[in-house]
């Protein structure tokens, strides 16, 4: 019986994962299937930030739902890194894995260059630490080029949004509360080219006091208001069902 198109393998190989040899298949829908005693599956689109080739190995940088509770509520959970390292069967399949993974991830239309505002004075004044420890490493895993702007005073984000070269970025991210996001929107709306500028995708990583916008955007897709969930939504930003694009209706 023929498999549906999305379940057909794009590529498969006998690889080594955690010392055990297993078939690993990349399906047309971007799922990776292999066995480690139990069947394992990873979605390149939903769970993989990027990958790194190191010697004969390939490391998939992932964010997956934490399964630390004894009961499942049905609600989506907090995301945690859980990298998967595998060794392809030969130099040639190593090269092909890198090529296929790169092609699939590139086909997802994820942002490549982001302007990131970090407000050191928002909320508990921990945005700089949150950014350095929890946000930047995930964007780096996704190989997104960042331009970082710490806000130096009130309305600084608005001034920058008012005059920045929008062609340089695929989106703007605020590691802050709602205040900086509002400043950015107001800055974009005050530009002569506001009609184009306001279409810039905007994202918010909760690092303020109320974080109302981050909460409601993540809630609208059934996610908890957690840093990792917000960052993954931004990395996957060009999926129309994710919050990154929904800041501006
Ligand atoms: N360097 C700075 N010094 C003083 N104020 C700043 C600085 N940078 C930004 N601000 C101001 O901080 C204000 C609050 O920012 P933000 O929204 O990030 O946090 P919050 O008010 O704690 O969170 P929320 O809006 O979610 O309740 C903004 O209005 C902004 O103008």
- What ipTM goes with this model? 0.96
Catalytic residue status for 178:
yes
Q: How many angstroms separate the Cα of 5 from the Cα of each of 24, 81, 99? A: 18, 30, 21
pLDDT of 111-135, one tens digit each? 999 999 999 998 899 999 999 999 9
Assigned token pair, 232:
């993954």
The residue behind tokens 């703007």 is: 172
pLDDT, one tens digit per residue, over 28-56 is 999 999 999 899 999 999 999 999 999 99
CATH of 5-106, one of 2.30.29.30, 2.40.30.10, 3.40.50.720, 2.30.30.100: 2.30.29.30
> What is the whole-number distance in angstroms between the Cα of residue 82 and the centre of ligand 1?
33
CATH 2.30.29.30 range(s) for the chain read: 5-106
- How high is the mean pLDDT of the chain? 90
Of 141, 170, 178, 223, the active-site residue reads 178
Q: Residue 164 — pLDDT band, cuts 50, 70, 90?
A: very high
CB-based burial, 165-199: b 16+ in 10 Å, e otherwise: ebeebbbbbbbbbbbbbebbbebbeebeeeeebee
- Ligand 1 pocket member 62 (CB < 6 A): no
Are residues 99 and 106 in contact, defined by beta-carbon separation less than 8 angstroms?
no
Homologous superfamily of the 113-246 domain (CATH) = Probable inorganic polyphosphate/atp-NAD kinase; domain 1 (3.40.50.10330)
Residue 22 in contact with ligand 1 by CB distance below 6 A:
no
Closest-CA residue to 42 (of 82, 9, 89, 4) = 82
What percent of the chain lies above the pLDDT cut of 70? 89
Orientation of helix 212-220 relative to helix 227-235, angle to 10°: 70
- Nearest residue CA, atom 30 of ligand 1? 154
Cβ-contact 89, 23 below 8 angstroms: no
The answer to whether the beta carbons of residues 176 and 207 sit under 8 Å apart is yes
110 pLDDT more than 90 = yes
Rounded percentage of the chain residues whose pLDDT exceeds 90: 80
| CATH 3.40.50.10330 domain extents, the chain | 113-246
Token pair listed for 241:
């069902």
- Determine which residue's CA is closest to atom 4 belonging to ligand 1: 153
CA-to-CA separations, 205 to 130, 135, 173, 193, in angstroms, rounded: 9, 8, 7, 26
Position 18 scores a pLDDT of 87
- The DSSP string of 98-145 is HHHHHHHHHTT----EEEEEE-TTSTTS-HHHHIIIIIHHHHHHTT-E
At 78 the pLDDT is: 83
Distance in Å, CA 147 to ligand 1 centroid: 20
Predicted TM-score (pTM) of the model is: 0.90
Higher pLDDT, residue 41 or 66? 41
Decide if 157 contacts 174 (C-beta within 8 A): yes
pLDDT at position 70 is 42
Is the pLDDT score of 73 beyond 80? Answer: no
């Amino acid at each position: 019986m023929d498999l549906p198109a999305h379940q057909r393998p794009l590529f498969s190989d006998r690889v080594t994962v955690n010392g055990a040899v297993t078939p690993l298949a990349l399906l047309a829908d971007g799922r990776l299937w292999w066995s480690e005693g139990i069947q394992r599956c990873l979605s390149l689109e939903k769970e993989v930030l990027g990958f790194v080739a190191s010697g004969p190995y390939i490391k998939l940088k992932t964010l997956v739902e934490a399964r630390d509770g004894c009961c499942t509520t049905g609600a989506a959970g907090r995301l945690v890194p859980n990298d998967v390292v595998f060794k392809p069967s030969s130099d040639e399949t190593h090269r092909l894995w890198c090529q296929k993974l790169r092609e699939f991830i590139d086909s997802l239309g994820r942002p490549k260059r982001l302007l990131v505002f970090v407000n050191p004075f928002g909320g508990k004044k921990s945005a700089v630490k949150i950014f350095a420890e929890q946000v930047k490493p995930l964007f780096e895993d996704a190989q997104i080029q960042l331009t970082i702007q710490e806000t130096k005073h009130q309305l600084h984000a608005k001034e920058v949004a008012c005059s920045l070269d929008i062609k340089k970025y695929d989106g703007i991210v605020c590691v802050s509360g709602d205040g900086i996001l509002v400043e950015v929107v107001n800055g974009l709306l005050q530009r002569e080219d506001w009609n184009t500028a306001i279409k810039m995708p905007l994202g918010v990583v909760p690092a303020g006091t109320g974080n109302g916008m981050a909460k409601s955007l993540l809630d609208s897709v059934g996610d908890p208001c957690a840093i990792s969930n917000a960052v993954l939504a931004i990395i996957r930003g060009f999926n129309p069902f994710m919050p990154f694009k929904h800041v501006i209706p």
